[in-house]
Amino acid sequence: MLAEQETLTGIVKSQIPSESEVSLTHMRDDMEAAKLKLEAYSVTLTDLISKIDANVPLERFDRILNETARRLSMLRGSVESPTLGSKIQKLQSAAKEQQSRLSLIEQDLQEIRDERDSLRDITLNLPQSCPQASGAGKG
């Protein structure tokens, strides 16, 4: 009977998990839970990184806009400078003066054309008895 009890005890002991097996099972469960938490954290971090990456182009765009505004301000300042203003005024007055000269030249040319036409009419209407009317002076 003692042998049977020892055999039964052995069988029961083999069915009852040892302390180390319980500890390993518990540790495995803890590791699985930790793994799930890490995966959840990983997903959260991935989402955060994608959101940050989505904001990066906006930040770059803002930076580009600010730089462009700064450069435009500098250009505006250089365009609105008194030195440049006086140069522009000088150029405008020189352009007006040239326009006035061009107008005078055009008037002179018109007077020359009118005189030429008048002289042509005179030569065409000279009597036949004039030496130039025969064609000696035409040209």
Q: Is 57 helix (H, G, I), strand (E, B) or coil?
A: helix
The verdict on 90 and 108 lying in the same domain is yes
- 11: in domain: no
What is residue 13's predicted lDDT score, i.e. its pLDDT? 66
Residue with tokens 């991935």: 46
Average pLDDT score over residue span 88-99: 92
What's the rounded Cα separation, in Å, for the pair 15 and 80?
Answer: 95
The verdict on 31 and 52 lying in the same domain is yes
The verdict on 53 and 86 lying in the same domain is no
Residue with tokens 């250089």: 78
Distances from the Cα of 138 to the Cαs of 79, 120, 133, in angstroms?
61, 9, 8
- 14: in domain: no
Highest mean pLDDT among 26-30, 31-35, 73-77: 31-35
- 133: in domain: no
The verdict on 74 and 91 lying in the same domain is no
Look over the chain and give the mean of its residue pLDDT values, rounded to a whole number.
80
The verdict on 34 and 57 lying in the same domain is yes
The verdict on 76 and 87 lying in the same domain is no
The verdict on 72 and 96 lying in the same domain is no
Per the structure, how many domains does the chain have? Answer: 2
What is residue 16's predicted lDDT score, i.e. its pLDDT? 64
The verdict on 75 and 43 lying in the same domain is yes
Please check the confidence at residue 15 and state whether its pLDDT lies above 60. Answer: yes
Q: How confident is the model at residue 92 (pLDDT cuts 50, 70, 90)?
A: very high
Between residues 2 and 139, the one the model is more confident about? 2
Please check the confidence at residue 119 and state whether its pLDDT lies above 90. Answer: yes
* Full residue range of the structural domain in which residue 112 is found: 82-119
Please check the confidence at residue 94 and state whether its pLDDT lies above 90. Answer: yes
The verdict on 27 and 69 lying in the same domain is yes
